[in-house]
Amino acid sequence: MAIFKGAGVAIITPMYKDGSVNYEKLEQLVDEQITNGTDAIIICGTTGESSTLTEPEHVECIKVAAAAAKKRVPVIAGTGSNDTKTAIYLTKEAQDAGADGALIVSPYYNKATQKGLIAHYTEIAKHTDLPIILYNIQSRTGVNIAPETIVTLAKTCDNIVAVKEASGNISQVAKIMHLADGCVDLYSGNDDQIVPLLSLGGLGVISVLSNVAPKYTHDIVANYMAGNVAESCRMQLKALPLIDALFCEVNPIPVKMAMNLMGKDVGPLRLPLTEMEEGHVKILAQAMKDFGLAVKEN
């Protein structure tokens, strides 16, 4: 049984001007996402600035998201760390906080071997009942989870059930699905590759785009699943300029700016992330307008 099918939002963490977490706004954003068709809430991921949240803030964000979702859609908590013990702790806390699954990024900076990755994920899986989605994003972590490693983990750990693939390497994704032969669910980690990964057997996307266009992103997947492949492809291609603008600086700098341009008042970023360059703001605002999103005039 898949954790979810469709478009899950990699939701931002809203903050007050002083940089503290705005839990009331987070609750509101979760409700808005579900109302607009989002199929899952992914909390405390890269887009949620998990790397600069304290552990108490991290756990509280999961609690707030789970309470706001009210089991209408699954809530999947980012609980990865480069320290296995910390990842186990956060995953246990997420389960206690009401999460329905865990998204666990590969250990960063340590640059573990494939043997180390298997040991890391196996140890985490032993300590939770939550279904686990592996998160492969070498551009951030410095290490690729090889297709063989992904399949080994899925076959030896009952609760490792899926992978969020953000390598951008379509050939690697094809190899994962070939080797898996149905034992691993696949989610795109790149908004510009939703349809390509669906064509290889993917179940959906864990999306940054969904923060500003939840129904649209949901519909890309829903159309594909309903057999309307041409329409799904058309929607994917139409969204590419906006997707490019949402990644013209490191995520989540642009998407947080986009939400503020829409009047959602999600607040600032935490250092070392800084506010968007003015030239990039203009590019983002134009892409949003061309896509049909309302942009608040200054």
- Residue 102 and residue 83: Cα distance in Å, rounded? 16
What residues does 8 pair with on adjacent strands?
Answer: 40, 206
Instruction: State the Cα–Cα distance between residues 158 and 97, nearest whole angstrom.
Output: 22
Q: How does pLDDT run across 75-84, given as a tens digit for each residue?
A: 999 999 999 9
pLDDT tens digit sequence for 99-157: 999 999 999 999 999 999 999 999 999 999 999 999 999 999 999 999 999 999 999 99
Catalytic pick among 23, 25, 121, 164: 164
Identify whether 187 is a catalytic site residue.
no
Where residue 296 falls among pLDDT bands split at 50, 70, 90? confident
* Full-model pTM: 0.97
Beta strand segments in 197-273, E: 204-207
* pLDDT range class, residue 64, cuts 50, 70, 90: very high
What's the whole-number mean pLDDT along residues 202-217? 98
Averaged pLDDT for residues 21-30? 98
Active site residue 135: yes
Angle between helices 253-261 and 229-246 (to 10 degrees): 100
* Mean pLDDT of all residues belonging to the chain: 97
pLDDT > 70? residue 298: no
**Of these residues, 23, 135, 187, 216, which one is catalytic?**
135
pLDDT > 70? residue 91? yes
The confidence score (pLDDT) of residue 70 equals: 97
